[in-house]
Amino acid sequence: MTKNSLVQRSYEIAKERYAAVGVDIDAALVKLQDISISIHCWQADDVCGFENLGNAGGGGIQATGNYPGKARNIEELQSDISKVLTLVGGKHRLNLHAIYGDFGGKTVDRDQIDASHFTTWMQWAKESDLKLDFNSTSFGHTKSGDLTLANPDKSIRDFWIEHTKRCRLISEEMGKFQNDPCIMNLWVHDGMKDLTVNKYKYRQLLEQSLDEIFAIDYKNMKDCIESKLFGIALESYTVGSHDFYLGYGAKKQKMVTLDMGHFHLSESVADKISSLLLFTPEIMLHVSRPVRWDSDHVTLLTDEVIDLAKEVVRADAINKVHVGLDFFDASINRIGAYAIGIRSTQKAFLQALLEPLAKLREYEANGQYFERLALLEEAKGLPWNAVWDYFCMKSDVAIGEDYIAEVQQYEKDVTSKR
């Protein structure tokens, strides 16, 4: 029996098995097809970008590992992303950072960038049937230091305000061009390595900077703001904490970005979905995997990711929650890292879409808590993977582990020659 006919047969059995618990797997597949994942461009090159600012220095972020073959220029990055797209079903987005502009070998400082530096990206994205999202970049620059938008030095603060305003305008242009809102994420590393006696002051400065940045309302872009627990070398204090952005987002109706690596390890990010949905317009997710700390390991099909996806589906919020990825592992094949992370995220959403929710809710409404718990437990073992294989087959992408060979082939043909 060929692989495809096996997949077909398993799908038919799964269909019956799921129907018995009131789940329509075809309806789940239609919804999965519509979940566009915003693929972060920075796994392809270890968050280096393509600026020509000399040895910029400045920390704020770091990828670890030195696996050969990272993308060294826009063409290579585009080629890698195109390859990744052949390994996953569905229609997705590409999330760019400001440092990935097409600067044509020129020195363009961050307070000088504009949409012209992203026209080649927009064109390529259109040809590749991808929508773009965007990020301002406050790290990896001589003016990054420990404080950017919260810097007491007005000239530094103004530099980053100007940068971020320009990023919003670039996002607006992207959104207009692609006829679909471009989501711009704002994350700054601002914090202190050791104790500070000025927590209030820096947060006040950050609030003022944000107010200035968000002064203009745009139609074709949406803002989201991302908190963090701590950064390396900035362990004691983070200006943009979760409370800070949650408060700001609720007050100003901005989306809050929930990065799975940015909370205490025992804290449930999934649990935040239903609260945020009540007080902020939409939610942006950075699906990631922290190992002991915010380490940005490749996303896997972990309980945390499955729980997160389930909370989104249970809240009927697929249209309000934007799924983005954020990991950068420089120690393994980077294309393979993307394939694992995207496919795992999709699997989590598929499991969530296949949950026998109507039956579970019926039990709950009746106070049948044993029955609810039993079905939740049994549902873990339902043949979701047969549905996943079918999704891949229908999407014309590798079924199961078959993508390993495709990644190896691309490495042989392309990345190993870099």
| Footprint of Zn ion (CB under 5 A) | 259, 286, 326
217 is catalytic: no
Binding status of residue 190 toward ligand RNT by CB under 6 A: no
Both tokens of 110, joined, read 């961050």
> CA–CA separation, 377 vs 255, rounded Å?
33
Cα distances from 92 to residues 8, 88, 234, 313, in angstroms, run 25, 9, 34, 19
Position 140, amino acid? G
| Residues in contact with 273: Cβ distance below 8 Å, sequence separation at least 6, in sequence order | 258, 283, 308, 311, 312, 315, 317, 321
Tokens, residue 43: 């796994």
> Within positions 91 to 150, which residues make up the interface with ligand RNT, using CB under 6 A?
97, 135
304 binds ligand RNT (CB under 6 A): no
Which of the residues 334 through 393 are near ligand RNT (CB under 6 A)?
A: none
Residue 92 falls in the annotated catalytic set: no
DSSP state, residue 298: P
Residue 343, contacted partner among ligand RNT, Zn ion, none, CB below 5-8 A by kind: none
Residue nearest to ligand RNT (CB): 187
Shortest Å distance, C-beta 336 to ligand RNT? 20
| Single-letter amino acid code for the residue at 102 | D
296 as an active site residue: the answer is yes
CB closer to ligand RNT out of 143 and 262: 262
Asked if residue 329 binds ligand RNT (CB under 6 A), the reply is: no
11 contacts ligand RNT (rule: CB under 6 A): no
3-class secondary structure, 37: strand
- Using alpha carbons, list the distances in angstroms from residue 171 to 109, 137, 158, 383: 18, 13, 20, 41
Which residue in the set 163, 228, 334, 343 belongs to the binding site for ligand RNT (CB under 6 A)?
Answer: 228
Q: What is the spatial distance between Cα 191 and Cα 61, in angstroms, rounded to a whole number? A: 13
Footprint of ligand RNT on 14-53 (CB under 6 A): 42, 47
Cβ at position 369, least distance to ligand RNT in Å:
38
Instruction: From the list Zn ion, ligand RNT, none, pick the one residue 228 interacts with, judged by a Cβ distance below 5 to 8 Å according to partner type.
Output: ligand RNT
- The conformation of residue 327, written as its DSSP 8-state character, comes to -
Backbone angles phi, psi at 107, to 5 degrees: -85, 110
The item of Zn ion, ligand RNT, none sharing an interface with residue 92, based on CB under 5 to 8 Å by kind, is none
Nearest distance from C-beta of residue 281 to ligand RNT, angstroms: 20
The two three-digit tokens of residue 27, written as one number? 């309806």
Q: Please check whether residue 344 is in contact with residue 299, taking contact to mean a CB–CB distance below 8 angstroms.
A: yes
Check 45, 80, 223, 294 and give the catalytic one: 294
Tell me the number of residues near ligand RNT by CB under 6 A: 11
Q: Which of 46, 80, 223, 226 is catalytic?
A: 226
What whole-number distance in Å separates Cα of residue 343 and Cα of residue 318?
18
Q: Supply the DSSP string of 359-382, one letter for each residue.
A: HHHHHHHTT-HHHHHHHHHHHTTS
Q: Is the dihedral of CA 270, 225, 91, 337 positive or negative?
A: negative
Which of ligand RNT, Zn ion, none does 18 bind, CB closer than 5 to 8 A by kind? none
DSSP state at residue 329: B
Which residue in the list 45, 190, 282, 296 is annotated as catalytic?
296
Site for ligand RNT in 262-291 (CB under 6 A): 286
135 contact choice in Zn ion, ligand RNT, none (CB below 5 to 8 Å, kind-dependent):
ligand RNT
Q: Report, in Å, the least distance between residue 47 CB and ligand RNT.
A: 5
Q: Is 187 designated active site? A: yes
> Active-site residue 160, yes or no?
no
Give the active site residues.
Answer: 187, 226, 228, 259, 262, 286, 294, 296, 326
Binding residues (CB under 6 A) for ligand RNT: these are: 42, 47, 61, 97, 135, 187, 226, 228, 259, 286, 326
